[in-house]
Structure 1
């Protein structure tokens, strides 16, 4: 039965510049994490395969090439940061060959291929030595007139190279702390020459670049601008000025479309919005631009589902929608939506771990909900020639993914879960308001297992005796983790409760709550945010030098903004050493100086988990083959669990 998405305007064609799009779905740059197009041959193949698969699924337009513009610095100066490329990709000797392969792969599948031109601001260049960023105090270099003129010509050269390589268009990255945005913004452009001051002069650099590009590429090459609709930053331009900038760009006759976004590189929201924000939350702002402009408007911003994409287009909020993390989660999203199978789309949970694994921890890219993403150049898991009876003990993220993968390979799989619901700790975390998307993913996994015929026994604990007597060929222990209770005197007092029990509604807390944070990712912030939602007065003590050190800049702003707005207090480098009635004692982790915290009614532990691996140990020598994965091996995050499930599924 059709869900209406396939028959709606999302799948109607539209012309943008020189591109006749088959539908309204565009994929903005986001695949660089899966492989560097200009790196090794293996990396290039990985990224090209990633884009090819999504074009074959039916995406109409892939702006997949992160095109960093050359960064002219004096000899010996070392720019820092994610976008601090010195030699721009367009000047690499392999640019045309690699870009052509990307374009050919996308175009052969019926989609259009374009590139984004990026010059990250403050690395080290800026108009006035200012950054729209209170979390970065590095002082940038102020461009002079000659350097500005160099940039204008370099942008034009880059666009011409993109056209020569066979791409269908380019997009200027004039948002999210790009150099072009720093010139547009009254917060960061304080120049007193012809490139600063009023809006017309602040817009001059962007218009000079666009005119130079047009002189190089002509009128038939698609050129667009990605623009912050509202900077949402003190001293920055607001929505009215954003509309005025957009109107001036259209009037120049140099742009074919406008790509409307919100957010920045560090704030709340960041430009990669987390699950703390509603789906398509800012599309009504894009609607203002769609009504005001005659050129097509693209909107990207937490459009996490096919239904949301369809709604944005149907309601006239945008002509085209950009979807990035949603197609990390499911590379077949477009095909499934077009085929009336939206319920089969693997949902994105919006954690941004796909980014932070790479940017914060330097690990290989991984999507939390889809361990296959980024491996499109590898053959998919094959059907087994030797089906085996497999028991998966535990139905958390690791157990669910492993069970489905093994069943897809042809094994006969049973799942024993001691609770009455699947999901493990992910189910508990879903009780927090901002984690509602977790429940969507668990529901998807349940439907997936049912369609594969996996036997799921709820309320059945996998004891060593029962498992050994059942005679399975393989046993995979995915029993998760129990709450960690730190070795602190007084931690067993009745007013000290576990954060998971608070989320489940099993524990009552008083009006003033002290949260003991001993976990480096999102759990303490989630529990503190839930307590704030309940109207509690919250203080959080972290022993680490920073709040949630494994949560990167693209995600940290949302929970911190929520807690700040609720009046919560967060202190760092404070290690709780004793809990007593009426007071909590902490010591500075560096100096050892003791402090007392009084007046709290409850203490809530947000201390992560400890592996629940007893079953694996007890099964030694009692079953033919056993494995352990997920939190039962070492408590980590969802992406760790699902990636371990994928690797194990290949080996059984």
Structure 2
């Protein structure tokens, strides 16, 4: 139990007169003195490459962290990802993340580069730790048993001799971390790490000294912890990040997780425990998207905290300072980990301390920050904050030649452009044809778990007012009214029209076939048995299925692709599919809907082109994307001094893409 005098003393917040006395109270973890109770877990690998030879990418990462840590930033930067060298036979090529075989600690510039990073963070008042990570199954594993039915590659089973080699590789990595001046090390025992595979009864089927009992399954981890502690001594903190439970059937339970933590604590090697939930692919993902409650599993961390004496860090959907304070005040953690909240707003803690909660830019939890880099292989992008990852460019610049700008369309692209250009010093008007801003984002607010999206739209409206944008609602722009208004620059962000695929026979039966937007807005009465035609590679078909099944409808989704939502990454897809299938939503793949009739639905196989039929449905919902509405842009060509188009008016896309477009155009207009 938590009984040590030092920890009980530290658990009492000193307070600072704010609404967040726990969040802003100092705390001691081993040799690390924290100025507040916030840790920023590793996440900057998506923002810039700290390990390559491209110096601008390195500086981009440094600039990101400087902007987050300055002032009232997180006390603890856990942001140095530490991949341990993957020891392989000559010529063997792992796949995916496992393809990073050299290990960061083996880079010739590791000590110099990380040493410089540590110095900068120390100067700003933060401590810095690194993780030691080594992925399981690519190819190394304790036994042939896989961790998920989604992956069928066969591993290489480690011998005791090879285990000893890896222990020494961890030792070397720790020595490099010590030389770089880091404040601590966090051993990765979770999220499909090799050490978790040894800990788990699901993946560890060994019968030697490294399998069977908890002591045996933990032997590899304890040997690594011992080697690391021998290398770093008592001047650096040492902890583990581990799953409180495993999500796959056959994995360990919460009770098992607490027992693992207690056993590791009993070794006397640790200064802290970092508790998390989730897997890389499942329900939930370890990077939980918006359709989970904030801090949904904090009470499990609380059970752990009451069962051990070590400080406990909890990370998982801590998406606001209010949530962070509650987790701490409820006694569920000593420190909270926040990553995406810092990506969305690097000044979140400073604004909280100053009482400016309404100014905090909310994270919407769509995981585009992860998906773009690791799934789409595109540059980093935050859906709500296009400034993030561009800190290297310095503060947002003022326009060299301020002008009068008209933005037509109050959807996400138009709102972002209007705010950015006004913040650059331009005089800006925003014309919106309806009585509400938000465009197509507003159509999804009735779907489950969209509270953060509603907060984001409210935040954007406050931002427009603060920036001095003149917003004219119920103002439908025409080529004549725009041309006569005499603006120096016109940007058309008129969005997209709902798409009814003309190639589907019977698609125009309005009394029976509905567009997704009308369904989500509640403009139509949908029958009990609903067919969703999915011609959209992202979230919308799943969102409308979530909305309808949550209201008790029987839903079937037909996809022409081999699987659902091919543009979604594994960090978001699994949880949504679990939600829908648990409600009985039926999925059909590799089938094109080619005809809609009241008594039958005609389908055709995507590849064989064989035709077949489904039975009758009460309603058909088209989740088929949109067609760009660029008519005003075309009509304005040659009639205004400078004309631009952006957002769905150019080509329908996602929130992160249109806010980035707005950012790029706003930078051009600064010249």
TM-score over 0.5 (shorter chain): yes
> Is contact 1:516-1:607 (8 Å) kept?
yes
Matched residue, 2:108: 93
Q: How does 1:282-297 map to 2 (within 5 A)?
A: 282-297=297-312
Q: Tell me, in whole angstroms, the C-alpha distance in 1 between the residues paired with 2:459 and 2:513.
A: 36
1:547 aligns with 2:561: no
| Range moving further from structure 2, 395-404 or 99-108 | 99-108
Flag as ranges the 4+ runs of structure 1 deviating above 4 A. Answer: 2-7
Instruction: Find the aligned partners of 2:206 and 2:640 in 1 and give their Cα distance.
Output: 74
Distance in structure 2 (CA, Å) of the matches to 1:633 and 1:598: 38
CA distance in 1, matches of 2:600, 2:516: 19
Distance 1:526 1:7 in 2: 35
- Aligned pair 1:400/2:415, yes or no? yes
How far apart, CA to CA, are the structure 1 residues paired with 2:656 and 2:28? Answer: 38
Q: Which residue number in structure 2 is paired with residue 419 of structure 1?
A: 434
1:35 to 36, 43, 48: 48
Cα distance in 2 for partners of 1:146, 1:341 equals 57
- 1:413 and 1:156 map into 2 onto residues whose CA distance is 59
Q: After superposition, what is the alpha-carbon deviation per residue over 1:479-538, rounded to whole angstroms, capped at 9, x for unaligned?
A: 111111112110011211111100000011111111000010111110111110111111
Q: Deviations over 1:411-446 (max 9, x none)?
A: 111111111111001111222112221111001101
Q: CA deviation at 1:159?
A: 1.1
Q: In structure 2, what is the equivalent of residue 148 of structure 1?
A: 163
Tell me which residue corresponds to 1:440.
455
Residue aligned with 2:391, SS: coil
- Aligned-residue offset at 1:230: 1.2
C-alpha separation in 2, matches of 1:434 and 1:198: 41
> Is 1:583 matched with 2:605?
no
CA distances 1:19-77 after superposition (whole Å, capped 9, x unpaired): 10000010000010111111121111111111111111421000111110000111111
The equivalent residue for 2:356 is 341
For 1:537, the equivalent position in structure 2 comes to: 554
**By how many angstroms is 1:131 displaced?**
2.2
1:451 CA drift (Å): 1.2
Which of 503, 506, 512 is the aligned partner of 1:495?
512
Q: Which residue of 2 aligns with 1:627?
A: 644
Residue equivalent to 1:26: 39
Q: Could you tell me which residue of structure 1 aligns to residue 208 of structure 2?
A: 193
- Aligned twin of 1:599: 616
Deviation at 1:4, TM superposition (A): 7.3
Please tell me whether the aligned partners of residues 598 and 617 of structure 2 are also in contact (alpha carbons under 8 angstroms). Answer: no
Contact 1:3 1:342 in 2 (8 A): no
Q: Per the alignment, in what secondary structure is the counterpart of residue 576 of structure 1?
A: strand
Q: What CA distance in whole angstroms lies between the structure 1 residues aligned with 2:625 and 2:121?
A: 43
Conservation of the 8 A alpha-carbon contact between 2:601 and 2:616 = no
Cα contact 1:26–1:63 (8 A) shared by 2 = yes
Contact persistence 1:326–1:347 (CA under 8 A) = yes
- State the Cα distance separating 1:7 from its structure 2 match: 4.4
SS at match of 2:81: strand
Residues in 1 aligned to 2:575 and 2:101: alpha-carbon distance in whole angstroms: 32
Give 1:219 deviation, angstroms: 1.5
> In structure 2, the residue corresponding to 1:292 is in which secondary structure?
coil
Distance 1:597 1:24, change over 3 A: same
| Corresponding position of 2:12 | none
Distance 2:301 2:169 in 1: 30
Query: Residue 527 of structure 1 is aligned with which of 544, 556, 560?
Result: 544
Name the count of aligned residue pairs. 651
Unaligned stretches of 5+ residues in structure 2: 1-14
Cα shift at 1:6: 4.9
Note the residue ranges of structure 1 that are not aligned, 5 or more in a row. none
- Secondary structure (helix, strand or coil) at the match of 1:82 reads helix
Aligned in 2, Cα 1:4/1:490: closer, same or farther, shift over 3 Å? farther
In 2, are the aligned partners of 1:515 and 1:528 still within 8 Å (CA)? yes
Q: Does 1:8 align with 2:47?
A: no
Q: Specify the alignment match of 1:566 in structure 2.
A: 583
Distance in 1 between residues matched to 2:283 and 2:17, nearest whole Å: 34
Structure 2 Cα separation of the partners of residues 45 and 372 of structure 1: 15
| C-alpha contact 1:276 1:434 (8 A) present in aligned 2 | yes
Q: Distance in 1 between matches of 2:84 and 2:36?
A: 30
Q: How does the TM-score come out when normalised to structure 2?
A: 0.96
Q: Secondary structure at the match of 2:129?
A: strand
Corresponding residue for 2:6?
Answer: none
Question: Does structure 2 retain, via aligned residues, the 8 Å contact 1:392–1:399?
Answer: yes
Quote the offset at 1:453 in angstroms: 1.6
Shift of 1:556: 0.2
CA distance in 2, matches of 1:151, 1:210: 12
Shift of 1:137: 1.1
How many angstroms apart in 1 are the aligned matches of 2:358 and 2:270?
37
**Structure-1 separation of matches of 2:491 and 2:256:** 58
1:300 and 1:322 in contact (8 A); partners too: yes
CA RMSD, 1 decimal: 1.3
What is the SS of the residue equivalent to 2:82? strand
Partner of 1:224: 239
